[in-house]
Amino acid sequence: MPHIKPKATPIFQTSVFTFDDLNELELYFEQPGQRYMYSRYANPNSDELANEVNQLEGGVGAIVTSSGMSAILAAILAVCKAGDHVLCAEEIYGGSSSLLTQELSRIGISVTYVPSAETYSFDALVQPTTKLFLAETMSNPLLLVFDIKRLAEETKKHNIKLVIDNTFATPILTKPLSLGADIVIHSVTKYLSGHSDVTAGVVICKSEEDLQRVQKVMLTYGLNLSPFESWLAARGLKTLRLRMKQHCSNAQTIAEFLQQHPKVEQVWYPGLEAHAQHALAEDQGCGMFGGMLSFRIKDNAEAVNRFMQGLEEIPFAPSLAGVSTSISYPLGTSHRALTAEQQQKIGITIGVIRLSVGIEEPEELLTDLERGLSKI
């Protein structure tokens, strides 16, 4: 049989790997990382994805997981145990909030949400058992941009691990580990994979100790990613840099269009000079501002329905970051589990619509948005 050197990585679609004898089995344990035994522990495809993401983020290593939510879970459980306390930014993905408030509280991990005004002055909220601060590079859905370097300085004063969800920004815009974060997480489902056909997550660590703990949690809880989805995500990752440039360019064009539209009451996009953290976003994002934006029309459910029904090309899909543009409705999807008081406090009202801007020709998107807005 001729020597085979494939240009593309093969799919190692197997649950288990074989050994010749007991000697080879012992080498597996004596030389970690040199051999494979069971795909829940490790697989060449998941290792390829982890290594590629780690290179982009600049960590000591990465662990891929079955979803973005399992990545958040692995990161928290790697640091916290029963009796520990977590600080979490008030503006956070609804799934992260539900995990902390509804599930981790059941096993003895408590949470305090840090108001936006106290993001960099949370001393009074720190407890002796506080172990971790969770925040996003850009918040979902209202695009509040966090100063990661400044936040890292504050968490280090209290010996608290800083965990940053970098899903919206991606390492093409921002590398939180280089700014002082300890752990970075992504929903690989979104930009890293990029084609709306994978559900996956990843945790990248600055220290070997944290990495080993995350790996242990992934392995023991069975949070591993399948070989095929690892392969798909690694394939999608190859075009990340190109895709992000177009996502960002299109989002800027659309944000400027919506900002001047008479039927749009507010636009949240860091690329607009009116955005409160525009200068920070420009510096921290290397001159790019991401592919996500939100806007508000009148706070009337029927108006939202008419807008959605008026769109012919842009679908209503409660996820984000695919190559095709889509809209979502935070009040009814990602932040549905929040109380009405919490929703109002962070500004998620009836008329707020989140737009995940794809890589199509921008003129097509503007035409469809105008079509939808004309129905209001």
Q: Does 290 fall in a domain?
A: yes
State the pLDDT at residue 28.
87
Instruction: Please tell me whether residues 218 and 251 are part of one structural domain.
Output: no
CB count within 10 Å of CB 28 equals 16
Instruction: Please tell me whether residues 128 and 211 are part of one structural domain.
Output: yes
Instruction: Please tell me whether residues 77 and 160 are part of one structural domain.
Output: yes
Alpha carbons 186 and 136: distance in angstroms, whole number: 10
Instruction: Please tell me whether residues 54 and 185 are part of one structural domain.
Output: yes
Domain span holding position 102: 22-237
Structure tokens at 92: 């956070």
State the pLDDT at residue 308.
96
Instruction: Please tell me whether residues 39 and 185 are part of one structural domain.
Output: yes
* Residue that is last in its domain, among 220, 237, 254: 237
State the pLDDT at residue 336.
73
Instruction: Please tell me whether residues 246 and 323 are part of one structural domain.
Output: yes
Q: Does 14 fall in a domain?
A: no
Instruction: Please tell me whether residues 197 and 57 are part of one structural domain.
Output: yes
Instruction: Please tell me whether residues 221 and 263 are part of one structural domain.
Output: no
State the pLDDT at residue 337.
67
Instruction: Please tell me whether residues 256 and 315 are part of one structural domain.
Output: yes
- Smallest Cα–Cα separation from 183: which of 204, 202, 200, 201? 204
Question: Residue 296: beta bridge partners?
Answer: 266, 352
State the pLDDT at residue 157.
97
Active site residue 40: yes
CATH number, domain of 345, equals 3.90.1150.10
Alpha carbons 365 and 357: distance in angstroms, whole number: 9
Active site residue 182: no
State the pLDDT at residue 342.
75
- Annotated catalytic residue, options 175, 190, 243, 354: 190
Q: Are strands 110-114 and 85-89 parallel, antiparallel or unpaired?
A: parallel
As for how many domains the chain has, the answer is 2
- Annotated catalytic residue, options 28, 35, 36, 40: 40
* Residue that is last in its domain, among 208, 237, 266: 237
State the pLDDT at residue 19.
87
* Residue that is last in its domain, among 237, 270, 286: 237
Instruction: Please tell me whether residues 139 and 215 are part of one structural domain.
Output: yes
Structure tokens at 24: 């080879």
- Annotated catalytic residue, options 47, 93, 206, 213: 93
Q: Does 8 fall in a domain?
A: no
> What distances in angstroms separate CA 323 from CA 94, 169, 247, 281, one per listed residue?
23, 15, 8, 23
- Annotated catalytic residue, options 165, 175, 213, 269: 165
Instruction: Please tell me whether residues 93 and 122 are part of one structural domain.
Output: yes
Q: Does 9 fall in a domain?
A: no
State the pLDDT at residue 22.
92
Instruction: Please tell me whether residues 140 and 97 are part of one structural domain.
Output: yes
Q: Does 203 fall in a domain?
A: yes
pLDDT along the chain (376 residues), means of 10: 78 92 89 87 96 98 98 98 97 91 96 96 97 97 96 98 98 98 98 97 98 97 98 98 98 98 98 97 97 96 96 94 95 73 80 97 97 96
